[in-house]
């Protein structure tokens, strides 16, 4: 049985008028938000995919399909809590999380501590296990043209009875 598992996640959503911008469970003041079936929180979605991938459990589309009305408009933090519970049921806990948000605008540096706090709280881990970063693409690509925002995450999971 493996003591350490690693997973990677990626998500992207288009920026649109008339939606709140939610990243890491935090509402960010901005003139547009992300389009999606749920709250379209790309950061939290990437984290969930990384967690699920670490244990070969599929992706968030398998667990929370966008054709299921129960998930319409749902806060992604609720879904994250469900994923964390599944990880615990499988005998694992978070070792660490490292993630990055790619957005030309808005500038996110001042919101990152709140995102880290929220993710640590929902995942029931210490703050020093959570790293959130943000970057631009220097106006290149869909993020640089402000058409959307993407996020990537990588996690390590450790067996609950193991020390790391």
Residue 72 is predicted with a pLDDT of: 79
Q: Looking at the whole model, is its pTM more than 0.85?
A: yes
Q: What one-character DSSP code corresponds to residue 36?
A: S
Residue 104: which of 61, 148, 71 has the closest Cα? 148
Residue 65 is predicted with a pLDDT of: 73
Stated as kind and residue range, the H or E segment containing 77 is: helix 76-89
Q: What is the dihedral of CA 132, 102, 158, 115, to 10 degrees?
A: 30
Cα–Cα distances (Å) from 98 to 39, 46, 72, in that order, read: 22, 11, 28
Q: From first to last of its 164 residues, what are the pLDDT tens digits of the chain? A: 679 999 999 999 999 999 999 999 999 999 999 999 889 999 999 999 999 999 999 998 888 877 777 777 788 999 999 999 999 999 999 999 999 999 999 999 999 999 999 999 999 999 999 999 999 999 999 999 999 999 999 999 999 985 54
Q: Specify whether the CB–CB gap between 116 and 127 falls below 8 A.
A: yes
Residue 64 is predicted with a pLDDT of: 80
Residue 163 is predicted with a pLDDT of: 53
């Amino acid at each position: 049985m493996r003591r350490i598992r690693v997973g990677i996640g990626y998500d992207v959503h288009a920026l649109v008028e008339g939606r709140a911008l939610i990243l890491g469970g935090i509402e960010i003041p901005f003139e547009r938000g992300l389009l999606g079936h749920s709250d379209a929180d790309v950061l939290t979605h990437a984290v969930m995919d990384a967690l699920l991938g670490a244990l070969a459990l599929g992706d968030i589309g398998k667990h929370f399909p966008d054709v299921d009305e129960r998930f319409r408009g749902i806060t992604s933090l609720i879904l994250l809590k469900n994923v964390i519970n599944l990880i615990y049921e499988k005998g694992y806990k978070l070792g660490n999380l490292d993630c990055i948000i790619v957005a030309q605008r808005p500038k996110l540096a001042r919101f990152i501590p709140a995102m880290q706090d929220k993710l640590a709280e929902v995942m029931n881990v210490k703050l020093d296990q959570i790293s959130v970063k943000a970057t631009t693409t220097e106006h290149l690509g869909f993020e640089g043209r402000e058409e959307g925002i993407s996020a990537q995450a990588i996690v390590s999971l450790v067996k609950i009875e193991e020390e790391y």
